Structure 1
Amino acid sequence: MISVRVNGQRFQVRAASIVIHDGHVLLHRAADDDYWSLPGGRVEIGEAASATVVREMKEELGEAVTCGPLVHVVENFFDIKGEPNHEIGFYFQVALSEGSPLVDKARSYSGLESDLRLMFQWHALLDLGSIDLRPAFLRNTLSTIPLVFSHVVHPGADDV
Structure 2
Amino acid sequence: MEVVARAVIVRDGAVLLVRDVGASYWYFPGGHVEDGETAAQALVRELREELDVGVTLREHLATVPNPFVGDGVEHDEVDHVFAVTIDADDPVSAEPGLVAGWHRLADLDAVDVLPRVLVELVRSL
User: Equivalent residue for 1:22?
Assistant: 12
User: Equivalent residue for 1:158?
Assistant: none
User: Equivalent residue for 1:143?
Assistant: 123
Q: 1:119 is matched by which residue type in structure 2? A: V
Q: 1:102 is matched by which residue type in structure 2? A: D
User: Equivalent residue for 1:102?
Assistant: 90
| Matches for 1:3-152 after TM superposition, within 5 Å | 11-97=1-87, 100-102=88-90, 109-112=92-95, 117-144=97-124, 147=125
Q: Any gaps of 5 or more consecutive residues in structure 1?
A: 1-10, 104-108, 148-160
Q: 2:20 is matched by which residue type in structure 1? A: A
Q: 2:11 is matched by which residue type in structure 1? A: H
Cα-Cα RMSD: 1.4
Q: 2:80 is matched by which residue type in structure 1? A: F
Q: Any gaps of 5 or more consecutive residues in structure 2?
A: none
Contact 2:52-2:93 at 8 Å conserved across structures: no
Q: Quick one: distance in 1 between partners of 2:14 and 2:58?
A: 17
Q: Quick one: distance in 1 between partners of 2:35 and 2:16?
A: 26
Q: Between Structure 1 and Structure 2, how many residues are aligned?
A: 125
Measure how far apart 1:110 and its partner are: 2.7
Measure how far apart 1:61 and its partner are: 1.2
The one-character-per-residue Cα deviations of 1:39-79 (angstroms, maximum 9, x if unpaired) are: 00000111010111111111111101111211110111101
User: Equivalent residue for 1:5?
Assistant: none
Q: Quick one: distance in 1 between partners of 2:48 and 2:118?
A: 23
Q: Quick one: distance in 2 between partners of 1:68 and 1:90?
A: 13
TM-score by length of 2: 0.93
TM-score by length of 1: 0.74
Measure how far apart 1:101 and its partner are: 3.5
Higher relative contact order (CA 8 A, sep 6+): 2
